[in-house]
Amino acid sequence: MEKTEQQAILAIALMAAFADGAKGDRERAAIKRIADGLARDAAFDVPALYQDVLLKRRSLAETARALASPETRQLAFEMAVCVCDADDVQSEPERAFLDGLRRELGLDAGAAAAFTRAAEEVAAAPLPVPAPAGRVVAAQAPDAAALDKSILNYAILNGALELLPQSLASMAIIPLQMKMVYGIGRAHGYELDRGHIRDFLATLGVGLTSQYVEEIGRKLVGGLLRKVGGRMLGGLGSGATGAAFSFATTYALGHVARQYYASGRTLDGDKLKAAFASLLADAKGLQTRYAGEIEQRAKTIDVAQLASLVKSQSV
């Protein structure tokens, strides 16, 4: 993929992240941190691109024109949809942005709507029990071995999803992380809702929108996406970096959640962040031990059934 195409797709992803104008300071700071981090490996100035998008110095029409091939235009639209859906179903400003993007990219309205519906179905996959956040009585002490196994299974599954080239595969990672945290909280006697889980992830620095933007950025600047036979593809071999990121993030998130709910939710934000950073470093090394299992799991995933996978994944 050419440098100008990389820039354009990442710019569109950033525009999507800010389309609703409702991103808080914490999420904006996380996206800026990602832009600064990507600058080390990118062939272009990512922080400057971030500033251009944030300050609206770059137009959507100009950016769309930089994507000449049908596959890069489709990829840009799909990634923008997934960014808009990452933190919940689309708001009206996000829908307006995506409709304008589709027109600028010259995409078929029916096909674009079908992809949007599929993405929203994955993003809005319900937690197992729609109950308000609050304390419930656990029937017995949590099964530590079962929780360890569940966290590892979620980490392997999310690592496998990151290996797949389809945009919707990465879209499923965040709902699965939320479902994992829900299960851990419930095992410790807490009934959680989506708002509580989003806040918990944000406290750790794992913003929902920023996490997906980071996944897109790593794939683009790392050369993990390429055009083959008129299609955008990834690959099990070239995706190892992405698998390590998603595996490690999910694994560390699960074990920090265990510590938090086992403590009776007494750990403050600084302690949670420190624990997450330590576990994330350990998990990145641990990923190589499970690389074979991650690749095998990737071969069994039917992307057409992602919404069902998110809904049915055991907690």
pTM: 0.85
Rounded Cα gap, residues 242 and 162, in angstroms? 6
Contacts of 119 (CB under 8 A, 6+ apart): 78, 81, 82, 85, 167, 168, 171
Contacts of 275 (CB under 8 A, 6+ apart): 256, 259, 267
Going from N- to C-terminal start, the domains of the chain cover 3-312
| Percent of the chain topping pLDDT 70 | 87
Q: What is the pLDDT of residues 195-231, one digit of tens each?
A: 899 889 988 888 788 888 888 888 887 766 654 344 4
Average pLDDT, the chain: 85
Q: What is the pLDDT of residues 258-306, one digit of tens each?
A: 999 999 998 888 999 999 999 999 998 888 899 999 999 999 999 888 8
What's the burial of 147, exposed, middle or buried (CB within 10 Å: 0-12/13-18/19+)?
A: buried
Structure tokens at 199: 């806040």
Asked if pLDDT for residue 315 goes beyond 90, the answer is no
Q: What is the pLDDT of residues 59-70, one digit of tens each?
A: 999 999 999 889
Q: What is the pLDDT of residues 240-251, one digit of tens each?
A: 555 678 899 999
Rounded Cα gap, residues 225 and 214, in angstroms? 14
